[in-house]
Amino acid sequence: MTLTSTEPATGKEIWTGSTGDAEEEIAIARKSWAAWASQSLSYRIETLRRFANVVRAKEEEFADLIAREAGKPLWEARTEVAAVIGKVDISVTAYSERTPQRKAEGAMGSKVAVRHKPHGVLAVLGPYNFPAHLPNGHIVPALLAGNAVVFKPSEKTPASGAFLVDCFHEAGVPDGVIRLLIGGPEQGKALAGSDRIDGLLFTGSARVGRMLALEYADKPHKILAIEAGGNNPLVAWDVKDIHAAAAIIVQSAFLSAGQRCTCARRLIVPEEGHEKLLDEVLKLTDRIIVDHPHADPQPFMGPLIDNEAADKVQDQYMKLMMKGGVPIRRLDRPQEDMPFLTPAIIDVTTAKDRPDEEIFGPVLQLIRVRDFDDAIAEANRTRFGLAASVLTRTPEHYNKFWASVRAGVINWNKPTNGAPSSAPFGGVGMSGNHRPSAFYAADYCAYPVTSLEAELCRATIAQGLRDPNSGKE
């Protein structure tokens, strides 16, 4: 069977490949990982630095492919490739900080040593919105720790995944140490459910993340790291510069056409006094260019990944209207047979039974509340817990927001999206399973081993033994 990838902006075919067999790829990785793990850390570091140089040499080619296959503007695809390159040095630093070797003095002249071992063969399931950067954020730390990897990219962006793996191989990572599994849900399920992997590193929807958590509930011997989405709140309260605040709101809601797990889904504002800020947001929203990735001038938004995704977002938007949501800026689809959507804002303050779900597209829900306590309560009215942000001139508001809101990323006067790779990234609730990635990825790519060490055997048993001379005359 074959898998074909098409450009969402044009519908043109750009890549075709054969679907693979999960067990075959795992078997190859399992044969290869021990030799890779036995190499010194400095050897693996230098190999991955060569990978960064390979990607750097192909930066424009890689960005062009990501832009065409994922539909994101070329300028944004370039930032993704830059993140792939930067991930190596960040991961090296993280590995030394998060998984260092330590020795301390123990009793009777012994030593207490703490070192880390790789798990073995790790599976990586990648998403389509960042087809290179997000899986790379798992792959580089996993390889650095000495694991072998079987990587299945999203069936919607296989070409970008294949390009990434080719760069690893060109840099000298052995073919058997990182394997590419092409396929759809069937291959993904086979990989995740295999008894021959030692763990799974997943980025994707909360629905799939929940299914994986249930599947791994009786497999405590396997590592599982889930990075899922969010119904992220952005509170705008007592802002000083409404122009800057409007820019932050628009970026939070509509970057990547709303196809970022950290995008703001809910804008929470005071019932009274929000009008000037909203007017500024609307003015800026109306200026957003929606076009194909290579258009001139460059667009802020490209298309969604495909028509199926666009259909779903339109359906979710219509459901909000049916529940009482009032459109402020309509969600339009200029071409019915193409996945381009215009940015939308809908007031759902009085909507009944608002669904707590992630709308993975350019839809921002406006919610008006009476006071700041209500704003915090509304921010927490979700089963997700990935990203949250508050725009305010008042430090006390931020301190209260930070202390009260349940999320893995909490920002002040900054967008909800764009988390730095030099810090941990992850969520709580339905947004993750307490395995933050980015700088903390080293934590789930190796496990600690504690050793009590002494050069000589020294031991006595002081209690609980019979006197050897008892009963003797």
pLDDT digits (tens, 9 = 90+) for 300-352: 999 999 999 999 999 999 999 999 999 999 999 999 999 999 999 999 999 99
- 386, 230 contact by CB (below 8 A): yes
Backbone angles phi and psi of 17, in degrees to 5: -150, 165
- 378 tagged catalytic: no
The per-residue DSSP string of 378-412 comes to: HHT-SS--SEEEEE-S-HHHHHHHHHH---SEEEE
Residues linked to residue 4 through DSSP beta bridges, in sequence order: 16
Structure tokens at 57: 């040499």
The SS3 assignment for 240 reads: coil
Please identify every stretch of the chain with a pLDDT value under 70, giving residue numbers as ranges: 108, 471-473
C-alpha to C-alpha distance for 95 and 72, rounded to whole angstroms: 31
Cα angle 462, 464, 466; round to 5: 100
What pLDDT score was predicted for residue 140?
98
Report d(CA 450, CA 106) in Å as an integer.
12
Spatial CB neighbours of 301, under 8 Å, sequence gap ≥ 6: 73, 254, 256, 257, 288, 289, 290, 291, 343, 362
* Side chain identity, residue 122: L
Q: How many Å separate Cα 428 from the centre of its chain?
A: 13
- Would you state the pLDDT for residue 86? 97
What local confidence, expressed as pLDDT, does residue 459 receive?
A: 84
Active site residue 227: yes
Catalytic residue among 80, 155, 227, 358: 227
Sign, CA dihedral 420-423-426-427, equals negative
Distance in angstroms (rounded) separating the CA atoms of residues 44 and 88: 11
Three-state SS at 323: coil
Q: What is the pLDDT of residue 392?
A: 97
- pTM of this prediction? 0.95
pLDDT for the residue 444: 97
**Nearest to residue 183, comparing CAs of 121, 123, 224?**
123
Per-residue pLDDT, 59: 98
Dihedral sign of CA atoms 202, 206, 207, 212 in order:
positive
Please give the pLDDT value at position 467.
87
Q: How far apart are CA 292 and CA 72, in angstroms?
A: 8
Give the pLDDT confidence score for residue 471 in this predicted structure. 63
Sign of the C-alpha dihedral computed for residues 211, 377, 321 and 307 taken in this order:
negative
Distance CA(42)–CA(426), nearest Å, equals 28
Domains of the chain: 2-228+432-453 (3.40.605.10), 232-412 (3.40.309.10)
Compute φ and ψ for 185, nearest 5 degrees.
Answer: -55, -35
Catalytic residue (one of 261, 263, 280, 445)? 261
- Please report where in the chains the tokens 């074909």 appear, as a residue: 4
Positive/negative CA dihedral, 180, 8, 295, 263: negative
Alpha-carbon gap, residue 289 to 220, rounded angstroms: 48
User: In this structure, what are the phi and psi dihedrals at residue 52, rounded to the nearest 5 degrees?
Assistant: -60, -40
Q: What is the pLDDT of residue 278?
A: 98
Print the SS3 string covering 100-137.
CCEEEECHHHCEEEEEEEECCEEEEECCCCCCCHHHHH
Of 423, 451, 449, 453, the closest CA to residue 438 belongs to: 423
Could you give the 3-state DSSP secondary structure of residue 374? helix
